[in-house]
Structure 1
Amino acid sequence: MISPFYRNLKNAIRIHIFKTNIETKLDVDMLQLLFSSNRSIINWSVDLEDIDNVLRIEASKNLSENEIITQLNLIGFSCEELD
């Protein structure tokens, strides 16, 4: 049985997965600066070994894919949602 606390937390989190052109540790460091100032982002990671350089973001439900894409585009990265 799932506790009510966990159920509420699970319902409040959304996972976003993107294909990006993030390629280096320096790129990841730039993301760290961007994402650390966004309180809606709970956790994130980039798989630099994947051909799509997958960015995975766990965020509150109020952060949309378009907001993430716009933020990344503003600092020079391409980003598109993976289905």
Structure 2
Amino acid sequence: MKKNLMISPFYKKHNINIRIHVFKTNIETEADISIIKVLFNSFSKIKQWSIDLEDIDNVLRIEATKNLSQRVIIQNVKSKGFYCEELD
């Protein structure tokens, strides 16, 4: 079975301009998340984001418009003093 069959046609139609970015970070606390929240709330291109503090890689997942690059996200997270690397 093809993977793309698992995504609903509704989602594909309405989120055609959305790209999902996944990063490994050292964001570990609620205080860290507060810092990142202020940063991400200033980006109109970011539609949703989350950080999994229970994952060993403290995974940051971002849903953004396709014209927001991984490089820009990484630079901005690093500007706040955090480690950030794209996961494959």
Query: Do they superpose with TM above 0.5?
Result: yes
Instruction: Say what the alpha-carbon RMSD is for the aligned residues.
Output: 1.5
TM-score of the two chains, using structure 1 as the length reference: 0.91
Give the length in aligned residue pairs.
81
**Correspondence for 1:2 among 2, 5, 9:** 9
- 5+ residue gaps, structure 2: 1-7
Q: Which residue of structure 2 aligns with residue 41 of structure 1?
A: 46
Q: Which residue number corresponds to residue 31 of structure 1?
A: 36
| Unmatched 5+ stretches in structure 1 | none
Residues 28-75 of structure 1 deviation map (CA, whole Å, 9 limit, x = unaligned)? 011110000100000000000000000000000010000000001111
C-alpha distance in structure 2 between counterparts of 1:49 and 1:57, whole Å: 17
TM-score (ref. length: structure 2) = 0.86
**Percentage of matched positions with identical amino acids:** 54
